[in-house]
Every structure is written in structure tokens, then in C-alpha cells.
Structure 1
Amino acid sequence: MSDTFVVTGGDAAGMSAASEAKREDPDLDVGFEKGEWVSYAACGMPYYVKGEVEDLQDLVAVTPEEFRNERDIDLWTGHEVVGIDPEAGSVTVEADGETFDQPYDHLLVATAFTAGMTEIGLRNTDLAYAPPFSPVWDSILPAAKVLGGKVAGE
């Protein structure tokens, strides 16, 4: 039986680690991402806001289908890891209102974090909202205003 390598977080760090681990041991599994988008260039978001990148899809390096079909990574989108039990060697995963436990031999937590907003109580409030990489950006761009912010604010 092969080892199970659980990666939680489907952005560059998580999916790069999953890809490298799969190259080293083709029998390893499983990646979880709570959203539907993976492996996108968050550093390119200022260019999207500024209008220099027109299609959000242009910031996606590898699609979930490519991870599954070309890299043989068992990627589960729409699945959020909501708990970790290191003693049992398992994570609790939530998807579609259901939860299940996924055992692991190796675990990498590579989830996103909005720096500073949580500590000062502003994350996802009326004052500050940091949407995930998704089509939601298309709906907020017409009203977006950038003040300063070197790259996008030039």
C-alpha cells in the first residue's frame, strides 16, 4: 500500500509541492482545495485590476484537469480541510455540507492567508474584503479603486 500525502491548499506552494512529491513517488496521493481554482498567479492580480491582464484565466498556470490528467494528482476541488488530528494522522474534510476523515502519512498545509486583516478584525467585514481568486473579481472591478500600491496604483 502506498503512502498518502495530503496537501491542503491548491495555490502555487501546495500544487508545486504535490507535483514534486508525485515525481519522487508516483504512488502518493491526495490534494484538497476549498475553491475551484488552483495554481494561479496571485502576484498577477494587480495587473488584472489595472487591466493589463484581461482574462482571469490567463493567471492560471495549471488547471485542475491538467493536475488530474497529466500529472496524475488526485486533486479534490470544493473540499475544505476543516480539522487536523496529528495523533490519528487524519484530516477532516468538508464538501457539500458533508464531512469525512482522510487519513494521511504525510501532511503539507499550504493554505492562503490574508496578512494583517485577521489580527485587526477586518477580514471579510464591510471595511475590508479579500475575495479568493475567482470570477468574483469580474464583478468588483468596475467599482475598484486603487490608491497607491506601486504596481497597480501607478
Structure 2
Amino acid sequence: MRTEQRWRVTRFFITSAVLYLTWLIFTASVEPFSLIAGAVGSIFVGSLTYDEFIASHEASLNSFMPKPLMLILYLFLLLYSLYASSFTLLGAVFHKRINPRIIHFRTRIKSDLGRMVLSNSITFTPGTITIDLNDDHLIVHWLFCNTSNSRAAGEQVKGRLEGLLRRVWQ
């Protein structure tokens, strides 16, 4: 079997497994009919949508499957960033030191999934909202902009999140 065909089959199985797991979580039923219906439905939908679930240009498991230890470290860093940004936002509101700006910057993360996680992590962090993610270009609304240089502002918004995410999905 060629590598391309192997990757197509792998994407199909991953998609079907995620769909079936989702089915099991939402139905919370272990009745035989429910299990069989979920399996058949997951396989059918997986066969139609595996190319949308995992894009063909993401042709390696490294770009889809995270490194577990790095992912756990990233989640702790994200949690810390959420709390730190919350306190920063609280202080800025009380002292009226808000300077909102729209900033444009690029990310060095190669994986589409990694870029999406970075984009959502920026939005989860209080004081920032990702407006657009297009390939490696992000547009973010940031409440605490203290520079007119897009690259410097981007580095402040991404912080350590980007560096660790690059290690999660190398």
C-alpha cells in the first residue's frame, strides 16, 4: 500500500473513531442498538468527511497528533496565562489604562491544528480576540497595545504560547 493510500485510510479511521467517541459521549447508552447505530453512522459519515476532518496536506501524524507531555505543559501554561490576563484586565479597567488596537502578525506554527489552537488560546485569554486566521497570518483585537510595531505586538500577544505549541505539533 502506498503512503498516500495509507494516510487516507488512517485519516478515515481517526475521523470515524472521533465521531464514534462523540456518539458514545452524547448518547451515554450502551444498548446494542445504540452501539451498532453509532458505529454504522460514524463509519458512513467518516467515509464522507475524513478529507475535511484531517486535510490531505497535513500528511503526517506529527501535524495531527500532539505530543502528550508537551500538550499537558501547554495546558498548564494556558491556564496560567488565563489567570494572569484576567488580573491584568481587572487592574486596567480600574485604572483606565486600556489602549485597544487591531494588530496583524504571523505565526511560525506549521500545523493547521496548531494554528487553530493558538488562535483559540489567544481568544480565550482575556483582553484579546482573534478576528481572523488565514494560513499563518492572524488579526487580533488587543486591549493593552503599548507599541505601534506589529511584530513586537504580535510577540507580546503570542507570548510563550506559540513556542510551546510549536513543540506540541512539530
Larger Rg, first or second structure (1 or 2): 2
**TM-score between the two structures when normalised by the length of structure 2:** 0.21
